[in-house]
Chains A and B, each alone.
Chain A
Amino acid sequence: MSSVSLQNLEISYGNVPIVKNLDLTIEDGEFLVLLGPSGCGKSTLLSAIGGLADVSGGRILFNDKDVTWTDPKDRGIGMVFQSYALYPTMSVERNLSFGLRIAGIDRAIIEKKVKWAADLLQITHLLDRKPSALSGGQRQRVAIGRALVRDADIFLFDEPLSNLDAKLRAELRLEIKKLHKTLKSTMIYVTHDQIEALTLADRIAVMKDGIIQQLDTPLNVYNKPANEFVGSFLGSPAMNKVEGKIVADGDRLVFVAGDFRLDVSRYPFAQKIESGRPAVLGLRPEHILPAKGEAQAIEGKVSLIEPMGSSILAWSTFDGISLSHLVGQDDGCEADSTFPVTIDIQKASFFDVGTGWRL
């Protein structure tokens, strides 16, 4: 087990900076997810941690030991790739044992380790097969097994589930979570899938353009996004965004966007807001609730409904503002009718119009 510390890290391809001035500490045994859209530098960052990409500045420490220029094989890491990267001409057994054989480890020990990993991942019956004779899910199990047998202190996952279909993805996601519980190793996991990030992580680092936008627990990243980007990147169905301004009305604060007015006095602003300040209101669909006769309920005109199985996503217009909101199957929400809702303003987010940062 190891802690990982990145100090002032910079990575560039030629003259193009990919990761800029990045500081990040990952605790011993932590499951950290690097989440972001493609091209945000998350995979490059993982490669650098694994020693497969050169850094152009800063340091990488494992357990306070500088490994910035250490060879990948000497870092005590195991890595799992999106494309599985199994050696196609070798059997599963030889794929698993390749690293150990290179290291010149005793045959009996190799056999024991391979058996242990295969048992753990339930691939014992596949040991004699070639990778081409395996399904996608089985291949990724083998790839995980290859990282396991190396006794890695740190596991690096580079979008390991992205090539699998939805059902297998959910299955293997659970498997990885169990694995982390069993091994208690440090795991760093790169994904663009927010569900994977939210379900697996101890902490999520949301990245954009090579910069970490927010580093926090899944709940905090979801409920209190640090900026507009994080707010809209996480959450499905997506967050509603309304641009307007916050105006003082007596001793109350009101958010105004055209004819749309919303009392936001109960929102926990991080700073003092002067009247007339422009702001973006971020509102998740599940925080607009069907009204149960409350006084502050507002009436919306439903234009479209999208049944999603467990619930229904409704698109309604409130005083000229279109918002999506979730309603239950039995709430009687139908297209081209009116539907009253209340807005849970404490769970909403306000962002600065210029910088996008949370207010």
Chain B
Amino acid sequence: MSKRSTATKRPLTYQEVWGRIGIYAFLGVLALFFLLPLYVMLVTSFKSMDEIRLGLIFSLPQQFSIDAWIKAWTSACTGLECTGLQVGFGNSVKILVPSVIFSILLGAINGYALSFWKVKGANVLFACLLLGSFVPYQVFIYPLVRFYAQTGIYGSLPAIVITHIIFGMPVMTLLFRNYYSGLPVELFKAARIDGAGFWKIFISIILPMSVPIAIVAVIMQVTAIWNDFLLGLVFAGRENLPMTVQLNNIVNTTTGERAYNVNMAATVLTSLVPLTVYLVSGRWFVRGIASGAVKG
């Protein structure tokens, strides 16, 4: 790693100062533009319906209220049931945890096998997997529905988890394979001479070295699976509909007046998990990607 230069900076010329001001002004405007929807959502969610009817969408709430949030969480109606988003949140967690764990584990094992155990035709196999990640989802849906119907697990938690694992595998394999191919192969050879087999090498040596890339994988999978709508709708079944599907049901329920404040609160609640993941792990995300390029 090279040290950052600590040399004193050359003073900027007059023109450069104006240039900088222009750049920062432009960036500031852009940031405001992208933050505006979030701002509107947040202020709206804290307003009462009476206030919303005034139509001043940019004004701050006159009476700060979290009723809309409570309603969105506990009693908003999704179709006939009025139990709020909490059910969907629970469902999403139930889908998320096993899907993330198993897709990453499988990706790591695949990547390890492909980069260290030179199987005959490994490259062809890998090419097929890669190709798989380019085929659009929708192509698979009908065959999968038929398959699950035949095996009798259609519309259940296992069905949606298995689906997420299948669709996550190409990218996870690619991610881990590329990371592992950057590790010195002598490490693997030394372990073989030491008498370690396929699983021993994986668990004792490779897996402990995979922390940076595993964090990247967790971030990718958590956001992808949490944000999924289509697969959840098709495969999870009525009992296990994920939060995204329930959010859609809440927002699209058309009985009487549209409760904008509840809709906004529900939307923010649903996006909270990926938002938190990004905020907490942004640093790790960059570090993980960088450490993939540098040898371990």
Chain A residues with a Cβ under 8 A of chain B: 47, 50-52, 72-73, 77-79, 81-89, 98-99, 102-103, 143, 146, 150, 158
Contact = CB atoms under 8 A, between A and B. Distances in A.
B287 interface: no
Contacts of A98: 191, 194, 196, 204
Contact of A78 (B189, B193, B200, B204): B193
A82 B191 contact: no
Contact of A103 (B190, B195, B208): B195
Contacts of A51: 192-193
Given A81-B189, A87-B191, A102 B205 contact: no
B209 A88 contact: yes
Contacts of A81: 186, 189-190
Contact of A87 (B189, B192, B193, B205): B205
Interface string B261-296: 000000000000000000000000000000000001
A275 B186 CA distance: 55
B193 A50 contact: yes
B187 interface: yes
Contacts of A79: 189-190, 193
A89 B205 contact: yes
26 contacts: A50-B189, A51-B192, A72-B189, A73-B193, A73-B195, A77-B193, A78-B193, A79-B193, A81-B190, A82-B186, A83-B184, A85-B184, A85-B186, A85-B190, A87-B187, A87-B204, A87-B205, A88-B209, A89-B205, A89-B208, A98-B194, A98-B204, A99-B195, A102-B195, A103-B195, A150-B194
A143 B194 CA distance: 12
A84 B189 CA distance: 11
Interface of B: 184, 186-187, 189-196, 200, 204-205, 208-209, 296
B235 to A, nearest CB: 38
Given A73-B193, A73-B194, A84-B186, 16 more contacts: A51-B192, A52-B192, A72-B193, A73-B192, A73-B195, A83-B186, A85-B184, A85-B186, A85-B190, A87-B204, A89-B205, A98-B191, A99-B193, A99-B194, A102-B196, A146-B194
Contacts of B189: 47, 50, 52, 72, 79, 81, 85
Contacts of B205: 87, 89
Contacts of A72: 189, 192-193
Nearest to B207: A89
A265 B186 CA distance: 53
A214 B39 CA distance: 80
A79 B190 CA distance: 7
B296 A146 contact: no
Contacts of A85: 184, 186-187, 189-190
B178 to A, nearest CB: 18
Contacts of B194: 73, 98-99, 102, 146, 150
Nearest to A74: B195
B194 to A, nearest CB: 3
A158 B184 CA distance: 14
B119 to A, nearest CB: 13
B257 to A, nearest CB: 60
Nearest to A80: B190
Nearest to A50: B193
B192 A89 contact: no
Contacts of A52: 189, 192-193
List 6 A-B pairs, minimum CB-CB distance, nearest first: A99-B194, A73-B195, A85-B186, A89-B208, A81-B186, A85-B190
A236 B204 CA distance: 45
Contact of B209 (A77, A78, A89, A102): A89
A130 to B, nearest CB: 11
A103 B200 CA distance: 12
A89 B208 CA distance: 6
Contacts of A103: 195
B192 to A, nearest CB: 5
